[in-house]
Structure 1
Amino acid sequence: MRAVIFSLMAVIGASHLSGTLASGADPSANVTFERDIEPILTRAGCNAGACHGKASGQNGFKLSLLGFDPEFDHMAIAREAGGRRVLQAVPEQSLILQKATAELPHGGGRRIDPSGPFYDTLRRWIVAGLPRTATDAPKLERVVVEPGERRLGLDESFGLRVTARFSDGSTEDVTRLAAFGSSESTLVAVDADGRVKAGKFAGEATISARYEGMFANCDVSIPLPGEVSAGLYDSLPRSNFIDDHVWAKLKKLGLTPSGPAGDSTFLRRAYLDVIGRLPTPDEARAFLADSSPDKRARLVDRLLDRPEYADHWANKWMDLLRPNPYRVGIKAVFNLDGWIRDAFRKNLPYDQFVREIVTARGSTFEQGASAIFRDRREPIEIAPVVSQLFLGIRLDCAKCHHHPFESWGQEQFYEFAAFFARVGRKGTGLSPPISGSEEIVFTAKSGSVKHPLTGKVLPPKPLFGSAPLDEDPEADPREALARWMTSPENRYFSQVMANRVWADLMGRGVVDPVDDIRATNPPSNGPLLDALADDFRTHGYDLKHLIRTIMASSVYGLSSEPNDRNIADTRSFSRYYRQRLRAEILLDAISDVTDVPDVFDAAPPRSRASTIWTNRVPSLFLDTFGRPDPNQDPPCERTSDTAVVQALHLMNSPGVHKKLSSQDGRVAALAKGEKTPQAIVDELYLLAYSRHPTDEEKSVCEALLLDTKSDRRRAVEDILWALLNSAEFVFKD
């Protein structure tokens, strides 16, 4: 009998797909798949990545991830396996209900309460004939969450209301169907019904509500208990707009900033940030002795004019763009490295820098940027790299399904990729492990991108707004893409670069990770990010101006030492966040302090680590301290974490020992020179820390040098070894 019913359901399924109601169904029920059922499946977690939404489905039943493909999902429920998952004659015996309510064994447990409204909605939908939402039905335009902002005390709570607004002007309360999440669940939690509850610690979080692939946010702040005088915030120094925005955020959260950093700390910080090297003892003495009020601003200006600036900042971008020379070719990668360094030497405006990359063409032996298109050879390979690096939009998820945390879908991904469909290449192609040939990148006469599910050829289209193609059919579609990306209306473009530079200088991005700008990963200080991006754009995308502006703020000059009212702060910039030195900077610093340069393969004598053109150059030290893995595709990931192996390497490395014990190094020169113990100790502290030693440090070190039983050179070695192995040396404070 059940087999007969299943066969009957297969016939009925034809009317399901057309969206018509079965005979005898109650038209007043008005339940449809896209508007009512798909959100229930998402809310219950049925189409989550850990359940039926994963690539292979679960136990023979597969749904699209988070409901990005309603057509597929409706077919899977209504028609797949002979329609066995729904039983219109006896809806209560439908597998989709019995499994979801755990009346039958279900690996996911009970997902729907049999006495609740979701069960009733699913049942009415089955009775109605599994109708689809009509194609001419009002379209969802946006989702609104109320309140949009809320200030809470510790352990307080409140409820959210989510409203869907449709194209015909109608609205619907969809709180019951929305899925909720918190950006900081340890600070502010939210339950499945949209009930928000503050935790026991001060801070802030963003609560996201998702309905049918659209998001809305509620910003929740929990001020630190206790009163802070308003006069304290009014009296804080304000050097530029950055201070205004940061102090306003601190006032909102009841945090107080740390005091200003001392001159020696600022000096070392500025040198490492701008040119990636330590000041010499003479440079440190001159700055510390200078009593003029504008010496910090003049220092930054001088550093930005130093030649080391280009290598230091170009090295950051080579992390993101550097291909594997064994795949792309040594000469091609070397030329790309040279092109990027030359761009920073010229202070090429950032928008022009990006345009030249995105539209690169020509010989990989002559036009450095074209090597990027030699490495990434398919439109679907280059598109997510471009969107992530230059827009801060991560599209990789949308390649296969609707982005789980954003509004980007498959069609948008492949339309964006279509801008690169006509990238042509002449040459012998790639021949790993050694690809030594030249290749010419040019604009082909034809090329297209198809949707992987429908097979439809998709035209080039930006993620939002419009990017009109040139009327000339011979024109490169990438030119239109570059204009759209760098236009003033595209706020992502200026925001992501301003955020990158802020993170480099301040220890953490306003948005973190720096290249993941989305509604569900909001900035810790939205007005600050907007102001930085606007200032960067209005000043012609001048990178040096952006660096100078950030370093001129009082916020940049704060101490890293916390106080009672900011000790738990990690994202509001109430103090400076210390950072471990990048691998190349640390190695160069050790070479400078010991006055013994490194020797690198495929590099001229006395080359610095920051000038290495490929991560294939062997260096155990650089690998230990987290330089990108040369075997990974770009954008490569650099690790900034500390590890026991790093501490052990500094203490026991033969390379560091050779520098300290070298006959031609600084230790030998100081030991056999005529400097007094006091002068030697002062020199070593200025070399390593850019400051004079404290009285206690002087006493200990001078006693070691004056000890008649100890070898003077061995004593200098021991002191410098101890300084190099300290946190003060390894970290930028």
Structure 2
Amino acid sequence: MPTHTHHHFRMVLGACCFLLMSQHVCNAQTPSVDFQNDVQPILTRFGCTSGPCHGKARGQGGFQLSLLGFDSDFDYDAITKDGRGRRVFPAAPDESLLLLKPTGQVPHGGGKRLAVDQPEYDTLKTWIQEGMPRRLPDAPTLINITANPNALVMKNDETHSLTVTAHFDDGSSRDVTRLAAFQSNEAPIASVDETGMIEAGSITGTAAIMARYQGQITVCDITIPRPEPVASEVFDALPRFNFIDDHIWTKLQKLNITPSEICSDHVYLRRVTTDLCGRVPSPDEVQQFLDDPSPDKRQEVVERLIQEPDFADHWANKWMDLLRPNPYRVGIKAVFNYDRWIRERFHQRMPWDQLTRELIAARGSTFRNGAVTLYRDRRSPDEVATLVSQLFLGVRLECAKCHHHPFEKWGQDDFYSFAAFFAKVGRKGRGVSPPISGSEEFIFANKSGSVKHPITGEVLPPRSLWGNVTVPEDSDDPREVLAEWMTSPENELFAQVFANRVWADLMGRGLVEPVDDFRATNPASNQALLTALGEHFRDSGYSLEELVRAITSSAAYQLSSIPNEQNVEDTRNYSRHYRHLLRAEVLHDAYTTITGIPADFECMPPDSSAKQLWTHRIGSLFLDTFGRPDPNQDPPCERTSDSTVVQALHLMNSEQLHAQLVHKNGTAAQLAESESSPQEIAIQMYRTVYGRNPTEAESELVVQLIEQAPEERRTVIEDIMWTMLNTPEFVIQN
């Protein structure tokens, strides 16, 4: 019999057998295999429901399953009903395509996934033989899963097995290790294979091993210390300026990592000035700070910098990165007003919880209240929900828009219930009409509006992601309820997310990284410290200034970036300061300050700094080269933080930069025309460019070069400054 005829006959016969068996199976014997608890975990474990296979948006080979098996009803229908049930053959289970394909007995694009002698094969075969029941009458419901052990200290190259246990609502439990999926968030530190076997690498640090089973997640925390112990007296002797140091030193002691030394004064001054105000210190500031014998001078300089207008502009610019829309989409005036609204709040030193509430519940005209531009740019509840959850709660809900989040507990019900908070946002005006969109628009709270589940069509009421906060019937605007819940002192994540962003800006890496991806499977590198930072931020009244003051006053912030033998591999535990390329705006403003010639930006007042720009559409080859966001992104918030060859070539060859350097009114020309001695010029140049005094050898070289060509004094000074501006010490924060 031809193959296609055989399959057609089998398909018809199978459908008939399915009807007969489903009617009489209870008379034969009680089914023992439950689809949800027994079959679906097998499909997930062996990759059938994965993204590259049948779990992709349109399935594979005409056969589609839900991604990672998060929709049991959909998968059951796909297997037993789609194609008139052609994938299962109850009369002869071994002849079912559901078994023939994954075992490689017939051609299968996904290759061989299952062996005939494996227990999972027997489970699938039994399920088909028993009539493919959807749900057994007494089948328990999965509550959660646990990992044993849930925390582990391992030696380098050591292995250890992980056991996963599923717990059900009837009090029963079962070992599901064979059917769980595993993943490490730091594979070089500790990897895990498909059986749950953990293998420690040769790198000191911490890792989280995730186990996933039937939509439930559990984590095993792995710690791998250095093999050489460090005496406790070493850590007892370390400086402890505030609570931050206690948490950092405790973690380092567990890892047997000793921190670097405290950095020198000139390094601290340049570091804290660029971090807090987005500018380099002036030569006078350098001299005054280095000559100051006061033991409290580092705290005093922090207090002075916090009060500067540059502080507000610098931090406002960071947040505008995350909120700033494309002016060609929403309108130039709307974006300008949005930028002004944000900057005014930072200049007013407004508490973060108040700013958040004003933004989330904003109403009014885009020409009068810049905050409402958020809702002009994000025009549907689901668009606003993804932005708000990610920026203010550190929760990436985007995955749950289409399916259950693969690494978290959020599903479509959670996503659309959260989006329902924005269902009543009303708009009046012409809307957006790229690339002009110049009209005014009014944002208000509508009397009606709803969000439906995309699959069931059910209207979902607004519900918080945790805490089950709902909107009272007499509420005029659900957004106000959401804003109050988000900024409540009981909502620890709100404070922790902001504290983590500030920590990443000041320390070079977030305690949670990426900074907007808080989840159990992406734990903080130091959860105790993150909790303490969040509490400190909350107790200070959500004050950015107080949070910055605490971090920059800690000994951990003041560590040198020069590694020692113990911490050279550390990139997550802050045993040293992590060097990084200065932010594009900081570098640009540093160059103009050092050369003494300000930039001329379009659509900006004279002498404006780069951190005051209200849109990335304002042209600047320098800023583009050094990684400012692409204005065509939505939103334009992604920056390039790595050093590139293009950056080096730009510093060396840019005609505009050269023109600033050799300008007749520039710093080099003024030094050349002054009566300063070559030695004094060397000191002035090093304080201007590097924020420090020259070493004896550096000073001697500058003096020698100037004295060798006195008739070309200005050219020599320009050449020296050009060389200094092309060194890593200028572009990198140490």
* More deviation, 220-229/683-692: 220-229
SS at match of 1:138: coil
Give the corresponding residue for 1:6: 11
The superposition leaves residues 52-85 of structure 1 with CA deviations (integer Å, 9 ceiling, x where unpaired) of 1111211111111101211111111111111111
Give the corresponding residue for 2:502: 501
Percent identity, aligned pairs only, is 56
Q: Distance in 1 between matches of 2:23 and 2:146?
A: 31
Q: Is structure 2 residue 540 aligned with structure 1 residue 539?
A: yes
Shift of 1:345: 0.8
Q: Distance in 2 between matches of 1:115 and 1:525?
A: 45
Shift of 1:6: 2.0
Number of aligned residue pairs: give it. 729
Shift of 1:20: 8.2
Give the corresponding residue for 1:66: 68
* More deviation, 483-492/393-402: 483-492
SS at match of 2:50: coil
Q: Could you list the runs of 5+ residues in structure 1 that have no partner in the other structure?
A: none
Shift of 1:470: 3.1
SS at match of 2:160: strand
Once the two structures are superposed, the pairs formed by residues 17-166 of structure 1 within 5 Å of their partners are 22=25, 26-27=29-30, 30-134=32-136, 137-166=139-168
Q: Pick one of 432, 435, 438 that aligns with 1:433.
A: 435
- Preserved CA contact (<8 Å) 2:430 2:441: yes
Q: Pick one of 408, 421, 427 that aligns with 1:406.
A: 408
* Aligned residue identity for 1:6: M
* Aligned residue identity for 1:468: T
Give the corresponding residue for 2:676: 675
Q: Distance in 2 between matches of 1:521 and 1:26?
A: 46
Q: Is structure 2 residue 243 aligned with structure 1 residue 238?
A: no
Once the two structures are superposed, the pairs formed by residues 510-589 of structure 1 within 5 Å of their partners are 510-589=511-590
* Aligned residue identity for 2:350: L
TM-score with structure 2 setting the length = 0.97
Q: Is structure 2 residue 607 aligned with structure 1 residue 614?
A: no
Q: Could you list the runs of 5+ residues in structure 2 that have no partner in the other structure?
A: 1-5
SS at match of 1:209: strand
SS at match of 1:593: helix
Q: Pick one of 223, 226, 231 that aligns with 1:224.
A: 226
User: Structure 1 residues 136, 462: CA separation in 2 closer, same or farther (over 3 Å shift)?
Assistant: farther
SS at match of 1:711: helix
* Aligned residue identity for 1:111: R
- Preserved CA contact (<8 Å) 2:629 2:636: no
- Preserved CA contact (<8 Å) 2:461 2:470: no
The superposition leaves residues 435-472 of structure 1 with CA deviations (integer Å, 9 ceiling, x where unpaired) of 11110000111111111111111111111112231331
Give the corresponding residue for 2:283: 281
Q: Distance in 2 between matches of 1:635 and 1:489?
A: 32
- Preserved CA contact (<8 Å) 1:21 1:128: no
Shift of 1:535: 1.1
Give the corresponding residue for 1:701: 702
Q: Distance in 1 between matches of 2:353 and 2:636?
A: 19
User: Structure 1 residues 31, 225: CA separation in 2 closer, same or farther (over 3 Å shift)?
Assistant: same
Shift of 1:170: 2.5
SS at match of 2:353: helix
* More deviation, 651-660/54-63: 54-63
- Preserved CA contact (<8 Å) 2:452 2:458: yes
* More deviation, 547-556/169-178: 169-178
Shift of 1:427: 0.8
Q: Distance in 2 between matches of 1:636 and 1:111?
A: 41
Once the two structures are superposed, the pairs formed by residues 592-607 of structure 1 within 5 Å of their partners are 592-607=593-608
Shift of 1:615: 0.5
- Preserved CA contact (<8 Å) 1:443 1:476: yes
Q: Pick one of 247, 250, 254 that aligns with 1:248.
A: 250
Q: Distance in 2 between matches of 1:333 and 1:453?
A: 36
User: Structure 1 residues 500, 135: CA separation in 2 closer, same or farther (over 3 Å shift)?
Assistant: farther
SS at match of 2:217: strand
User: Structure 1 residues 620, 196: CA separation in 2 closer, same or farther (over 3 Å shift)?
Assistant: same
* Aligned residue identity for 2:98: I
Shift of 1:430: 1.0
Superposition CA RMSD, Å = 1.6
Q: Distance in 1 between matches of 2:628 and 2:674?
A: 37
SS at match of 1:22: helix
Q: Is structure 2 residue 191 aligned with structure 1 residue 189?
A: yes
Q: Distance in 2 between matches of 1:225 and 1:20?
A: 65
User: Structure 1 residues 515, 15: CA separation in 2 closer, same or farther (over 3 Å shift)?
Assistant: farther
Q: Distance in 2 between matches of 1:619 and 1:590?
A: 13
- Preserved CA contact (<8 Å) 1:10 1:79: no
SS at match of 2:234: helix
Give the corresponding residue for 2:3: none
* Aligned residue identity for 1:248: T
Shift of 1:99: 1.1
* More deviation, 504-513/131-140: 131-140
* More deviation, 6-15/698-707: 6-15
Q: Distance in 2 between matches of 1:412 and 1:279?
A: 48
Give the corresponding residue for 2:302: 300
Q: Is structure 2 residue 729 aligned with structure 1 residue 724?
A: no
Q: Distance in 1 between matches of 2:374 and 2:120?
A: 51
Q: Pick one of 310, 313, 328 that aligns with 2:312.
A: 310
SS at match of 1:100: coil
The superposition leaves residues 521-566 of structure 1 with CA deviations (integer Å, 9 ceiling, x where unpaired) of 1111111111111111121111111111111110000000000000
- Preserved CA contact (<8 Å) 1:467 1:483: no
Give the corresponding residue for 1:370: 372
Shift of 1:2: 5.0
SS at match of 2:146: strand
Shift of 1:124: 1.3
SS at match of 1:168: coil
Shift of 1:5: 4.1
* Aligned residue identity for 1:158: H
